[in-house]
């Protein structure tokens, strides 16, 4: 019953996110910035492009982002890169807090929201105004999915991130748990948080990882379907995945000035 309830709550949240988010209601404090809950920041007038690569840890995001950045820069595009927990204001504090394995769910949610808000104001928006392609290694959707997977209130999480701009494209690297687990082991083993050890009564790390990741990926799949992400099969080798990603990004940046085909 719990999974059905979460699924329905998530569906309702995504629909509400659409209804709230893309009417663009709310007065601006600044030409761009609006208070949380007033609707997303409008980036449509900026010359840059906001491109997001989403997926769980081990799906290959970092590798694909590095390839994508190199490919875009080789074609004359200015590229800015940002990622989860890379805020100069709170990124280091968040990483240190997680090391202690003591963060409560809501505290963690607000840490991630602050990290995103700071990067949005100081990295993403300035780069878009300057005409850069902004590559974002995970966006609000990762934070939302993690919160919901840990039992968070989907409606509350949605409202926290209501100010987030709509990206020009979101590419979801979809991977099966059976392929994910060996990759994570090869990179150094199962992480406390990515194994869901903070929110599950499991003593075996592997089983906790599989159980948590199945729930997380199910939520990601629902968000991807509702939000119409471009889904890329990340079970494959690096180059086939990159070819699909490159094909999609080519369409997004083709109308920009400064690049060469």
- Set out the domains of the chain in order of their start, with CATH numbers: 2-251 (3.40.50.300)
Quote the pLDDT of residue 169.
Answer: 97
Which segments in the chain show pLDDT lower than 70? 1-38, 100-102, 193, 197, 257-261
Quote the pLDDT of residue 12.
Answer: 54
**pLDDT single digits (tens) 96-130:** 777 766 677 888 899 899 999 999 999 999 999 99
- Percent of the chain surpassing pLDDT 90: 58
Quote the pLDDT of residue 38.
Answer: 57
User: If you average pLDDT over every residue of the chain, what do you get?
Assistant: 84
Quote the pLDDT of residue 56.
Answer: 92
DSSP, res 84:
T
Quote the pLDDT of residue 98.
Answer: 73
The Cα 65–Cα 136 span in angstroms is 8
Quote the pLDDT of residue 249.
Answer: 97
């Amino acid at each position: 019953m719990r999974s059905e309830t979460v699924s329905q709550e998530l569906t309702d949240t995504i629909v509400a996110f659409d209804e709230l988010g893309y009417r663009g209601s709310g007065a601006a404090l600044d030409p761009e910035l609006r208070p949380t809950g007033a609707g997303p920041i409008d980036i449509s007038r900026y010359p840059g492009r906001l491109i997001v690569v989403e997926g769980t840890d081990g799906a290959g995001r970092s590798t694909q982002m590095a390839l994508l950045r190199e490919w875009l820069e080789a074609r004359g595009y200015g590229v800015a890169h940002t990622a989860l927990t890379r805020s100069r204001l709170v990124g280091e504090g968040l990483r240190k807090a997680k090391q202690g394995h003591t963060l409560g769910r809501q505290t963690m949610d607000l840490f991630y929201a602050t990290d995103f808000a700071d990067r949005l104001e100081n990295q993403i928006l300035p780069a878009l105004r300057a005409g850069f392609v902004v590559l974002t290694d995970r966006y609000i959707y990762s934070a939302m999915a993690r919160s919901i997977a840990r039992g968070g209130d989907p409606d509350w999480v949605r409202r926290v991130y209501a100010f987030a701009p709509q990206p020009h494209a979101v590419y979801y690297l979809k991977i099966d748990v059976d392929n994910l687990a060996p990759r994570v082991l090869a990179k150094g083993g199962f992480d406390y948080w990515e194994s869901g050890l903070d929110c599950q009564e499991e003593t075996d790390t592997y089983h906790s990882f599989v159980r948590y990741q199945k729930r997380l990926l199910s939520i990601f799949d629902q968000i991807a379907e509702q939000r119409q992400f471009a889904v890329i099969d990340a079970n494959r080798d690096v180059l086939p995945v990159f070819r699909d990603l490159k094909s999609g990004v080519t369409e997004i940046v083709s109308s920009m000035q400064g690049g060469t085909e």
